[in-house]
Amino acid sequence: MRIDIMTLFPAQIESVLGESIIGRARQAGLLDIRAYNIRDYSEDKHRRVDDTPCGGGRGMLMAAPPIINCYNAVTADISEGDAKPKVLYMSPRGKTFTQEDAKRFALEQRLVILCGHYEGVDQRAIDILEAEEISIGDYVLTGGELAACIISDAVGRLIPGVLPEAVCHEKESFEDDLLEYPQYTRPIEFMGQKVPDVLLSGHHANIEKWRLEESEKLTEARRPDLYSKYYERKMAAEAAKKKRKRRKTTEQ
């Protein structure tokens, strides 16, 4: 998968996405992540990329021309009739990013991510690029770079081969709308606290049952919104199971 990130601070992107699992996946050629400095595409002799908002107001806005020039250069290799890449604009007013969005974006061959700065971006750049606005949470960052790194990490780890096979198939938070259960490793006793006995029992069915119950308890306490989705699905699945059972006994 290829992710092109348009930013005023490409070094910030590299400092995050050059390391660890994503950094290694890039070196292995599984992920092609490139950061572009929008300033390089300014036609202004002082390489300016911002201007004051029309109609007045505070701060500066990122102007549309350097952004569109940057996008055109980034996508110059795409032929006329070919599919356009999915474009995302990082913004606190966007849709809040979820694991579902990560899965949806991971199906794309190419993503282009625009990082905003100052007081925002000229609306025409967002409209011309048909960008989907994405927020990483209800707080305001100094720019979209960290948000772009978070999206790239969450999407990148879903690309086959990026995570070790064993990790991919493990249950993790947000699968089935449940948060992950508590995990423990050695030492068995630490500062007077022991690993729960069931995890040392070797009884796999009991361990699975305990983990599910812990996940349910945690989700209900911390994320009632997720829990109600999970609970509705669980009830529907149980009702369907009962119905199948009833049908089977009447057929016999």
**Chain contacts with ligand ADE (rule: CB under 6 A):** 90-92, 116, 135-137, 139-141, 144, 147
CB of residue 155 vs ligand ADE: minimum separation in angstroms?
Answer: 15
Rounded Cα gap, residues 66 and 73, in angstroms = 11
Rounded Cα gap, residues 26 and 34, in angstroms = 10
Helix 145-156 and helix 10-17, axial crossing angle in degrees, nearest 10: 30
Instruction: State which residue, 29 or 139, has the beta carbon closest to ligand ADE.
Output: 139
CB of residue 10 vs ligand ADE: minimum separation in angstroms?
Answer: 17
Rounded Cα gap, residues 11 and 149, in angstroms = 12
Q: What is the largest CA-CA distance in the chain?
A: 84
Rounded Cα gap, residues 5 and 151, in angstroms = 11
Instruction: State which residue, 144 or 156, has the beta carbon closest to ligand ADE.
Output: 144
CA 169 to chain centre: 18
Q: Provide the pairing of β-strand 86-96 with 110-115.
A: parallel
| Phi, psi for residue 160 in degrees, rounded to 5 | -50, 135
The answer to whether the beta carbons of residues 218 and 179 sit under 8 Å apart is yes
Instruction: State which residue, 93 or 186, has the beta carbon closest to ligand ADE.
Output: 93
Instruction: State which residue, 133 or 180, has the beta carbon closest to ligand ADE.
Output: 133
Instruction: State which residue, 33 or 90, has the beta carbon closest to ligand ADE.
Output: 90
Instruction: State which residue, 138 or 197, has the beta carbon closest to ligand ADE.
Output: 138
Rounded Cα gap, residues 251 and 248, in angstroms = 5
Instruction: State which residue, 54 or 140, has the beta carbon closest to ligand ADE.
Output: 140
Which are the contacts of 117, defined by CB distance < 8 A and separation ≥ 6? 8, 9, 50, 62, 142, 143, 144
CB of residue 107 vs ligand ADE: minimum separation in angstroms?
Answer: 21
CB of residue 21 vs ligand ADE: minimum separation in angstroms?
Answer: 22
Q: Which residues pair with 35 in a beta bridge?
A: 5
